[in-house]
Structure 1
Amino acid sequence: MTMALVFGVLLLLGLCGNIASGGQPVSTSTPGALDYELPTSEYETPDTFNAGTVGPLYRMVHIFLQVVQPNDFPQDMMGKIIQRNFDFSVDSKEPENIVLALKIAYYEIGILICTILGLLFIILMPLVGYFFCMCRCCNKCGGEMHQRQKENESCRRKSFALSLLVICLLMSLGIMYGFVANHQVRTTIKRTENLTESNFRDLQTFLNETPKQIDYILAQYTNTKNKAFSDLDGVDSLLGGRIKDQVKPKVIPVLDEIKAMVTAIRQTRDALKSMNDSLTSIREGSEQLSTNLTDVKKSIEDSLNNNNNNECASEPAKDICDNIRSELSNLGSNLNIIQLPFVDEQLTKVNDICETDLESLIDKGYVLIDEIPGKVGEQTVDVIADVKKALDSVSSTVQNVSQSIPIEEVLSRVSRYINDSNSYFHQELPKLEEYDSYWWLGGLIVCFLLTLIVTFFFLGLLCGVCGYDRHATPTRRGCVSNTGGIFLMAGVGFSFLFCWILMILVVLTFFVGAHVEKLICEPYANKQLLQLLDTPYMLRKDWQFYLSGLMLNNPNINLTFQQVYSDCKKGRGVYATFQLEHVFNVSENFNIEKNTRKIIKELDNLNVDIDNIELFNKTGRDNLENFVTSGIDEIDYPLYLKEAEKSPTIVDLLVFASSLEEKTDKLPDGNLKQDLKKDVQRIKTIHQEQVRPLQQSLDTLKQSIRTLERMSEKLPERMNKTIMSLDSAQNFLSSNISSIVIEETKKFAKTIVGYFEHYLQWVLYAITEKMTSCKPVVTAMDSAVSGVLCSYAADPLNLFWFGIGQATVLLLPAVIIAVKLAKYYRRMDSEDIYDDVETVPMKNLENGSNGYHKDHLYGVHNPVMTSPSRY
């Protein structure tokens, strides 16, 4: 842990050098397309360690330890012990020492009780075994090969067998735990090697990542500078475009309005000209039409009144002629065009206005607005060049700072240390494997010893149950049953012989494993161990905070192990984690104001002059005002429309011709009919050649009148509004263009400076918060404590003593039951009553039937007992 912290500090010293503190969080708003993200690597070492399928077994042992030792981690007590430097040689009669001893005893009460019980087991079991063997040699303690007949013998035998079977099964479960734990111990070295290699690779990746992060930081300055250069090269479109965008909403609508008015003037001129042309055409056509209709009318009347023709004298021709004669009054012109005056005066005034090229004046206004970006580009060439030089100077500063950082030397030293540590680990690995093999072999022997004892018990049960004959007398039991009894006694003998050795191993491993779990693993997992180390004046009496005194040479700074662990776990940078702002000034070489002051100074020289923009000159303005006095609003448009909407003739000539032709067809053949036929044809010709063109002229006149009427509607108001808008826009340009230019120039300069402010803020944030994250160091510490010590060593060790201890403790009831059960399976040398014909039932023996009493030891054919065989 200490070396890891030293490594982090050395690395940060190389990175920061003379840099000052003051890291600022990077701005949430990223200017332009600039977005920075330090390159990070994926680390392969896991943050947590999963025990896999044996996890439930480990949890079971943890629960047992929690029952045995339910007390919380004793921070106060451990603090006092640490402050004494684990020296207990002080006079124990002092009250403080007595209190501390009592606290230790109270905390250790569960472990001490279990340890004492184990020691009693270690001491008493060999003694009991010794005296048991001595007693049996003296035909005591069941040593005589004689089985007393007792009540409920069958039930007792079955109870003993079933109890021993259950105990053996429980012992087998404990032995299985021992085998599993021993296998986990066997794989500890390999898993430790893999975990260590993984941590070494992560640390090496961490070292390789740091130069990449520095290169990335430097490369991002190049990207930032290129972005600024791109904006500076596009100053015409950016700055000029923004100025143009500010002007356009005020100016372009006015120019569009004036353009619409100029278009209206041109349309008015065209309409007046068309109106005059239409009036001329209508007058000429109307006179010609009136003359021709008069001639046709006179021709028809002459034909009807001709005395040489007597066709109209008789009926029904007379009525037809009279009818035709009565309708001739409708045959004539319907127009009174003489009363409509020409509009020559208005046309002359509008033509005078149109002689000025108003469209070109408007286009010039548009061009002046569109030329703003170009003017900005032309006027800022020299300033942009100076700004680029200032940016290059900042680039030189950044490069010089990067070259002044002795990162390669520091990384080389740290990398050498890691490589040496890795080499040392691999050098010592064979020794660890050798010691692990010894432990594994010893654990295997222990498990096999217990397995041998349990096997004897199982074989004894198997042979005893299978070979037992309830009709056989104790002296005539079969070989299989007798072998079962021998197996049981062999198991008892091996139990007495090895149980105390097994219990010694259990007590030792229990005492070590329980304390590692309760004093290291659990408090490390819940951070109580770190809280203990963070206790003020704990590790050194003159230091309030040990870590800050060690790392920062200032023990009064609140720098704690728990805070460092938490920050490193989150991937925070070493600078912020160890609060190195109290030692180093990270912003001295990356000072924002210092590095941007020169840029701001050069950008202050941006001076854009786009005054004297004239949207519409005085000539154009005068013409607009003259259009109002052109007189088009004084024309009597209703009068013109009234005449234009009339029909050229009183009656529709085609209808009249059709009616005349129909009546003519009813007349008898003759000269009158022929003459009227000719007149009908003349009427149709007049309609085709004169009335229709005249109607078209009337329609054109009507369209021109309506156009002029629309143009002249509220003309003064509209023109005044247009002129006022023009004056307002021109005043806006004259009054505000300078302020707009200044404002947009400041915004442009702020954007350029903002790139570098954002970059420098990010650099500070990256160095203080993100760069050189100490997470691999904390992961290595977790791997050493949570992984190797707790998961790979302590958990298998605890499972081992739990399983072996369970099996060893169960040997005590197993021995007692096996000794009692062996009497029911072994072949006895003598028995209470024997009959060579049949065995007397137990109930008869007890009641004294057939003349025998239960106190009689031998029957008629019972041989004299010799010294019975002994265990």
Structure 2
Amino acid sequence: MGYLLAFSLALGVALPAPALLQPCSLGSPSAPLRFADVGADHRVHAHRRLPGSLDPLYSFVRMSLDVIQQNAFPTELLRDALNDPPSVRTSQILQYQTGYIICATVAILYFVALPATGLSICCCRRHRRCGGRIKAYRRSLLCQRNLLMFGLLLTTLVILGGVICAFAANQKVKEEMGPGAQDALNTLQALRHHVNGIPQGVQWAVAQFAVPKDQILHDLNNISWSIGSTIHLVLKGTVYSAMAAMKARVQDLQNSQDHLQALNATVLTLIRHQEELEATLKDRKHRVVSLLEHPRCTYCVSALGRAQNLEAEANYRKVPSVERVLKTLHGLPKADFSEIIHQANSSFNSIPELAVVKMAELIRDLKVEVEKATKKIQSVADGFPISDHSRPMAEALMKTENSSRPYLKEVKRYEQYRWIAGIVACTVVLLIVLCNILGLSLGAYGLAMREDPSDYESRGEAGAKLLITGVGFSFLFSWLLMPLVFGTFLVGGNMQTLVCKPWANQEIYKFIDTPGNLPPSMNVTEHLGLRRDLNLTAAYQQCKNGASFCDVLPLERSYNLNEHLDVAKYTAEFQKRPDSFEIRFQEIVLLNADGKKDLETFRDSKVDQIDIAGFTTEIRKPVVKTSLVGLAVELEGLSKVQSDRSLAERLAEEARNLRKIQNMTVLPVEGLVENLKTHVQFLSAMAPGLQALINGTLSQISQAEALVPVESQKILRQELACFVRKEVGYISQYLDWLRIVLTEDVTSCQPFSTALDNGRVILCDRIIDPWNAFWFSLGCCTLFLIPSIFFAIKIIKHFRPIRHRLVSTGSEETYPFHIPRVTSLRL
């Protein structure tokens, strides 16, 4: 057991330094920080047109406009118009508007021809020279009538579909015009707020340095205690193990003294008892042998040999003396080991408090560095030059916003008029559709109920009247529908081809970027303050991709944001101060000189050289060579067979004396021998490894005492390095966040590209598309009025009774006859 303990101690001393096996206990890397959402209230939200049922119609109208206007974007015409308006020739405008001129020609022809045709038909009917009834019945009339009815029905359904689309598009324009105007103002307002909020946003973003600052100050308030606790935690195994070994050696010293003193006292007592026993046994041996050799003692020869061995066997005078060892250990321990252990524990356990005291100045210095970093961060906001550019932008946006409000109000007012006109026009077309549908229905029903073609049928006559009413409405209102269609077409078509389409494909931006297209007073790049190497198209693309004003405005020469957000600029001194910091912990004394001397005296006391074999030899010997009890039993047996009563009594008396010696002397001696055996066993177990144990303990204590200051400094360096990495990580997180916020949020120019896109979505996708869908649908209805009029006029005759009846013969000859009933109803 002693050798195993010595091996364990030696193994513990040979292990590597505990601090080298420890990871950072302060938590590294830095935990993620949460920052406020800066500038969330000033963002320009992107508008999108939601998918709707009219989207296919919008696409078809755009394709139709592409067919009507096949000319490219009029760059030269616009350049001449902007730079030298008088130089623009009418032929240039007409050449570009060729498609619209063709459509205008068609519209004029329609505007003139359809009312004229209607007037001609009215005059003709007034003089009864056209129209009326079918004069003769023919077999081909049925097929002709069915074709005319189908043509009118199909045309009417087309007009009905068109008027439904026109109603929907007209309502869509109304629904989008008001909110669109408001969204345009909101976009301008949000853009202005974004520009106005840039300086304030920069201040807010810089103020968020309070987040890492508070975390760093919190860590600084706990760092010294944490490092002291870490040192204590890492080294306590080594120190406590050394003190436990020292306490065990002191206990071994005390136990050794107790056992040696008890052993020495036991040996002296045994020697004294041995002398008494030898004298007693000598007397008893003489008496017993005399009795057994008496001539009258019968059967005594067998007991004579045992009686002659009636003498002491173990000689306790031969056991080794421990007086010298006891003399050496006398008065030990001279040192107060309880106080030594208490002082060592107190000194070692005070390391956290000592670290707090020793690191107080460093903590103050680091807090000062944090405050310096705060001032440096504030200088980022103070020196940020965006205000010089944002102020003119905000003023220009405010001016644009104020000047646009009256126009947008006027747009809403005129839109109301347009909507009413559209409703009236669609209602007229719908009335014509209703006349056609009811006329067809009543006329077809009348035809079905008429038994003879020459019979008068009121429902058929009513159907004819409804159809002629629809024709009258068509002639009456066609001249009003066509100007409305062409007027909205001219405005919406040109907006689509001159504004929306080049706006979507960025041709407008390229036109603005091309030198000479705009007058010098309209230099957009100069007015916006863009970098000279950027044009509007490039700036728009960069802003759309998330660029900041720093990327599109000439700020880099006067202010380099990356240089101002360099981590080393704010953490150099913060990292430098801990590198040169050291803690001189007071020397922790686990064992003073007196205690060490006591252990060395114990080691050199030669306890391990005691002749345990000499003790063992005598301990193993019986106290008496022969068994007193056995001899007493044998004498008692002999006393019973003797004929001489006197001899028998004497033998019995000697047996009782032997038993008395056994109980009074031998048994106590044997008990002392057992005690002696216990002490010898302890010494035999402890003594062989005593020197190794004490040497190992002294070495362990010495190494622990030497290890504490060295490893404390290593742990301090390691923990401070971890702490610095952690706190620098917080500052690095903030600077990365600040860079992103300043470039992608606070100073982002993406709201400008979003505002431009919103303008296109509001004007083109939400207003112009339904506007064009309206005129296209109403125009289709207007054009299909022509076949509707034709089919209606043609079918009216078939709904009235015929004048003559066709009689079919084999040679298909016809014989006219007079109709007895002639209706007086006329067209």
CA distance in 2, matches of 1:299, 1:475: 180
* Residue 761 (structure 2) aligns with: 786
CA distance in 1, matches of 2:517, 2:595: 93
* Residue 479 (structure 1) aligns with: 458
Query: Post-superposition shift, 1:45?
Result: 7.3
2:804 to 799, 821, 831: 831
* Residue 258 (structure 2) aligns with: 274
Q: Tell me which amino acid in the other structure corresponds to 1:639.
A: A
What do the CA deviations read for 1:418-465 (whole angstroms, capped 9, x no partner)?
A: 788777666566543431221111001101110111111011112112
Task: Determine whether 1:493 maps to 2:490.
Answer: no
Q: Map of 1:569-584 to 2, 5 A cutoff?
A: 570=546, 573-576=548-551, 578=553, 580-582=555-557, 584=559
Task: Determine whether 1:48 maps to 2:50.
Answer: no
Q: Map of 1:175-574 to 2, 5 A cutoff?
A: 175-192=163-180, 195=183, 199=187, 202=190, 206=194, 213-214=201-202, 216-217=204-205, 219-221=207-209, 236-237=224-225, 241=228, 245=231, 255=239, 258-259=242-243, 262-284=246-268, 286=270, 338-346=317-325, 354-356=333-335, 431-469=410-448, 471-517=450-496, 520-521=499-500, 524=503, 528-529=506-507, 532=510, 535=513, 537=515, 548-552=525-529, 554-556=531-533, 558=534, 560-561=536-537, 563-564=539-540, 567=543, 570=546, 573-574=548-549
Counterparts in 2 of 1:682 and 1:528: CA distance versus 1, 3 Å? farther
Counterparts in 2 of 1:283 and 1:241: CA distance versus 1, 3 Å? closer
Q: Choose 35-44 or 736-745, whichever is displaced more.
A: 736-745
The answer for unaligned runs of 5 or more in structure 2 is 1-27, 642-647
CA distance in 2, matches of 1:632, 1:201: 100
What do the CA deviations read for 1:65-114 (whole angstroms, capped 9, x no partner)?
A: 3366389999x8455555445679769899xx8xx999x68xx87x7876
TM-score normalized by the length of structure 1 = 0.70
Query: Post-superposition shift, 1:489?
Result: 2.2
CA distance in 2, matches of 1:542, 1:339: 131
Query: Post-superposition shift, 1:379?
Result: 6.5
Query: Post-superposition shift, 1:563?
Result: 4.8
Counterparts in 2 of 1:744 and 1:146: CA distance versus 1, 3 Å? closer
Counterpart contact for 1:38–1:216, Cα < 8 Å: no
Query: Post-superposition shift, 1:409?
Result: 12
1:771 to 714, 726, 746: 746
Task: Determine whether 1:821 maps to 2:795.
Answer: yes
Q: Map of 1:150-165 to 2, 5 A cutoff?
A: 150-165=138-153
Counterparts in 2 of 1:819 and 1:662: CA distance versus 1, 3 Å? farther
CA distance in 2, matches of 1:137, 1:466: 28
Q: Choose 760-769 or 436-445, whichever is displaced more.
A: 760-769
Q: Map of 1:697-712 to 2, 5 A cutoff?
A: 697-712=676-691
Task: Determine whether 1:845 maps to 2:790.
Answer: no
CA distance in 2, matches of 1:659, 1:485: 164
Counterpart contact for 2:49–2:766, Cα < 8 Å: no
Counterparts in 2 of 1:35 and 1:640: CA distance versus 1, 3 Å? farther
Please give the root-mean-square deviation of Cα atoms over the aligned residues, in Å.
6.1
Counterparts in 2 of 1:749 and 1:211: CA distance versus 1, 3 Å? same
Counterpart contact for 2:524–2:536, Cα < 8 Å: yes
Q: Map of 1:88-167 to 2, 5 A cutoff?
A: 121-122=110-111, 124-130=113-119, 132-133=121-122, 143-167=131-155
* Residue 797 (structure 1) aligns with: 771
What do the CA deviations read for 1:761-797 (whole angstroms, capped 9, x no partner)?
A: 765554344324455555544443312x134421321
Q: Tell me which amino acid in the other structure corresponds to 1:273.
A: Q
Counterpart contact for 1:365–1:614, Cα < 8 Å: yes
What do the CA deviations read for 1:668-697 (whole angstroms, capped 9, x no partner)?
A: 999899997997798678898664564355
Counterparts in 2 of 1:287 and 1:532: CA distance versus 1, 3 Å? same
| Corresponding residue SS for 2:422 | helix
Counterpart contact for 2:446–2:459, Cα < 8 Å: yes
1:69 to 47, 66, 71: 66
CA distance in 1, matches of 2:490, 2:310: 141
Counterpart contact for 1:39–1:212, Cα < 8 Å: no
Q: Tell me which amino acid in the other structure corresponds to 2:473.
A: F
CA distance in 2, matches of 1:79, 1:297: 150
Q: Tell me which amino acid in the other structure corresponds to 2:425.
A: V
Q: Map of 1:5-16 to 2, 5 A cutoff?
A: none
CA distance in 1, matches of 2:161, 2:286: 146
Counterparts in 2 of 1:869 and 1:712: CA distance versus 1, 3 Å? same
CA distance in 2, matches of 1:384, 1:280: 64
* Residue 59 (structure 1) aligns with: 56
TM-score normalized by the length of structure 2 = 0.73
Counterparts in 2 of 1:541 and 1:441: CA distance versus 1, 3 Å? closer
Counterpart contact for 1:137–1:143, Cα < 8 Å: no
| Percent of matched pairs sharing the same residue | 19
Counterpart contact for 2:33–2:212, Cα < 8 Å: yes
Counterparts in 2 of 1:623 and 1:411: CA distance versus 1, 3 Å? same
Query: Post-superposition shift, 1:478?
Result: 0.4
Counterparts in 2 of 1:598 and 1:799: CA distance versus 1, 3 Å? same
CA distance in 2, matches of 1:225, 1:347: 69
Counterparts in 2 of 1:306 and 1:768: CA distance versus 1, 3 Å? same
Counterpart contact for 1:293–1:331, Cα < 8 Å: no
Counterparts in 2 of 1:684 and 1:439: CA distance versus 1, 3 Å? farther
CA distance in 2, matches of 1:116, 1:663: 166
Counterpart contact for 1:335–1:647, Cα < 8 Å: yes
CA distance in 2, matches of 1:645, 1:819: 151
Query: Post-superposition shift, 1:481?
Result: 0.5
Counterpart contact for 1:297–1:328, Cα < 8 Å: no
Q: Tell me which amino acid in the other structure corresponds to 1:56.
A: S
* Residue 4 (structure 1) aligns with: none
* Residue 836 (structure 1) aligns with: none
Equivalent residue pairs, number: 791
* Residue 783 (structure 2) aligns with: 809
Counterparts in 2 of 1:683 and 1:752: CA distance versus 1, 3 Å? same
Counterpart contact for 1:334–1:646, Cα < 8 Å: no
What do the CA deviations read for 1:2-33 (whole angstroms, capped 9, x no partner)?
A: xxxxxxxxxxxxxxxxxxxxxxxxxxx98678
Counterparts in 2 of 1:617 and 1:265: CA distance versus 1, 3 Å? closer
Q: Tell me which amino acid in the other structure corresponds to 2:180.
A: T
Q: Tell me which amino acid in the other structure corresponds to 2:804.
A: E
Counterpart contact for 2:439–2:465, Cα < 8 Å: yes
CA distance in 1, matches of 2:184, 2:272: 120
Query: Post-superposition shift, 1:368?
Result: 6.7
Q: Choose 677-686 or 341-350, whichever is displaced more.
A: 677-686
